[in-house]
């Protein structure tokens, strides 16, 4: 019995030692491609929690928690307000997201009493959600396109029949979304113009529809217009902000001057510059300069500056970090890589000049941030 215990203890110690060695072996090494060390932290900028995902990273996105959950669900709040009585968000969520149709649910009971047509809309929305498929990459659930097509016809009919602006906007969104889901791209674009366009008091639901329209526009090959539309969703619709930005990033889409031709004012132009400035694998300083000119209070101004410093630092300026090619071609061609590295020094000097200029810009909030940025860029250049 004692011998058995000793063997068991030795086995546990051996297992623990192996586990520790594996942890060190699998952990980040000194030259891990995804490691990045900087002494100019992105947290130095005045950045909203939900935008931390746009900090510079060698990966597709930063691993910083975007904290999207800090903001209450706009849709829940809108439905609670629509019900016209004091109901808990939990009861609203049960109906909207769990299809709870129990009369014991205060929110559902209130809809039955005061807004009975809303029940029909919610039933359509729940059917659409179920028919949309889902699952995961190992167990995908295909969409039921037959059911989605039938629901599209019902959504268009209900839009024409209802006079309730709250429900009308939601039926319009469902119609655009369902047309997009069944691959009727042209119809999705047309339905947005016909159903969403005439709505005078638009809410975030119309921006949900615009996001679908932008995706359809991108599928049609009109990239410039898609950039403009995704930028407007990104700028004014927190509940679709991440999706709008990802729609550019996953396709490697960069700034296009033509996108600005769709903008109706400086605010919309600034939205285009802001969204494009945080895309990877580009020099964003020209976009940042335009953003400061049009909207100096935009929350992405300082974040974009830290991104540019960290990006340039990671790829070219720091001897402490592994230097990986800006793209595969320049990495394979050592002369091209060296040319790029030399040009990066010039770019860093432009960043420093911009930082010093921004420190004197009275429309920007924090001169200390810009002076620190300029100092750090001088430090990287060993200009002590």
Rounded Cα distance, 297 and 374, in Å: 20
Rounded Cα gap, residues 233 and 250, in angstroms: 17
Residue ranges in the chain whose pLDDT is less than 70: 1-36, 64-72, 316-345
* Cβ atoms 298, 291 nearer than 8 A: yes
CA-CA distance, 126 to 147, in Å (whole number)? 12
Spatial CA neighbour of 367 closest among 376, 358, 375: 358
Are residues 313 and 363 in contact, defined by beta-carbon separation less than 8 angstroms? no
Collapse the DSSP code of 20 into the 3-class scheme (helix H, G, I; strand E, B; otherwise coil) and give the result: helix
Look at residue 62 in the predicted model and tell me its pLDDT.
81
Please give the sequence-ordered ranges of beta strands (E in DSSP) within the chain, or none if there are none. 134-135, 140-141
Helix (H, G, I), strand (E, B), or coil: what is residue 267?
helix
| CA distances from residue 210 to 11, 68, 156, 158 in whole angstroms, order as listed | 61, 21, 17, 20
pTM for the whole thing? 0.83
Residue pair 314/360 in contact (Cβ under 8 Å)? The answer is: no
The SS3 of residue 24 is helix
Angstrom distance (rounded) from CA 262 to CA 227? 10
Residues 6+ apart with CB under 8 A from 269: 260, 263, 290, 294
Please answer whether residues 220 and 189 qualify as being in contact, where contact means their C-beta atoms are separated by less than 8 angstroms: yes
DSSP secondary structure letters along 94-149: HHHHH----TTSHHHHHHHHH-HHHHHHHHHHHHHHHHT-EE-SSSEE---HHHHH
Inter-residue long-range contacts of 59-63, CB under 8 Å, 24+ positions, other chains counted: 59/34, 60/249, 60/250, 60/280, 61/249
Q: Cα angle at 285 between 279 and 287, to 5 degrees?
A: 65
What SS3 class is residue 47? coil
Give the pLDDT confidence score for residue 35 in this predicted structure.
59
d(CA 323, CA 340): 12
Nearest to 156 by CA among 130, 191, 197: 191
* pLDDT at residue 341, as a whole number: 58
Contact assessment for residue 234 and residue 51, using Cβ atoms and an 8 Å cutoff: no
State the Cα–Cα distance between residues 206 and 172, nearest whole angstrom.
8
Taking 3-state DSSP, the helix, strand and coil percentages for the chain, each rounded to the nearest 5, stand at 70, 0, 30
Could you give the dihedral angle defined by the CA atoms of residues 208, 213, 214 and 217, in that order, rounded to the nearest 10 degrees? 170
- Specify the pLDDT at position 376: 94
């Amino acid at each position: 019995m004692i011998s058995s215990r000793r063997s068991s203890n030795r086995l546990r110690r051996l297992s623990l030692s192996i586990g520790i060695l594996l942890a060190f072996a699998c952990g980040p090494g000194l030259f891990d491609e995804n490691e990045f060390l900087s002494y100019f932290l992105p947290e130095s900028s005045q950045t909203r929690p939900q935008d931390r995902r746009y900090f510079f990273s060698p990966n597709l996105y930063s691993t910083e928690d975007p904290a999207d959950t800090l903001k209450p669900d706009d849709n829940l709040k809108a439905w609670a307000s629509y019900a016209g009585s004091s109901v808990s968000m939990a009861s609203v969520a049960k109906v909207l997201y769990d299809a709870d149709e129990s009369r014991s649910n205060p929110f559902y009971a209130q809809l039955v009493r005061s807004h009975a047509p809303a029940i029909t809309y919610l039933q359509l929305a729940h059917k659409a959600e179920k028919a949309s498929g889902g699952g995961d990459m190992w167990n995908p659930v295909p969409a039921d396109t037959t059911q989605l097509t039938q629901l599209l016809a019902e959504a268009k009919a209900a839009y024409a029949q209802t006079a309730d602006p709250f429900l009308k906007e939601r039926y319009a969104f469902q119609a655009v979304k369902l047309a997009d889901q069944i691959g009727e791209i042209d119809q999705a674009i047309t339905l947005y113009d016909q159903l969403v366009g005439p709505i005078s008091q638009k809410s975030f639901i119309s921006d949900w529809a615009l996001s679908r329209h932008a995706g359809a526009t991108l599928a049609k090959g009109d990239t410039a217009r898609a950039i403009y539309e995704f930028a407007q969703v990104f700028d004014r619709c927190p509940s679709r902000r991440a999706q709008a930005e990802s729609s550019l990033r996953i396709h490697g889409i960069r700034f296009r001057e033509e996108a600005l031709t769709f903008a109706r004012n400086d605010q919309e132009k600034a939205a285009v510059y802001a969204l494009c400035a945080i895309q990877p694998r580009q020099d964003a300083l020209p976009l940042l300069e335009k953003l400061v000119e049009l909207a100096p209070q935009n929350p992405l101004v300082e974040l974009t500056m830290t991104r540019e410093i960290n990006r340039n630092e990671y790829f070219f300026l720091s001897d402490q970090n592994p230097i990986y090619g800006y793209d595969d071609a320049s990495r394979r061609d050592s002369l091209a890589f060296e040319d790029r590295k030399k040009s990066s020094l010039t770019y860093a000097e432009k960043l420093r000049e911009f930082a010093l200029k921004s420190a004197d810009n009275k429309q920007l909030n924090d001169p200390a941030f810009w002076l620190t940025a300029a100092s750090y860029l001088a430090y990287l250049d060993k200009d002590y």
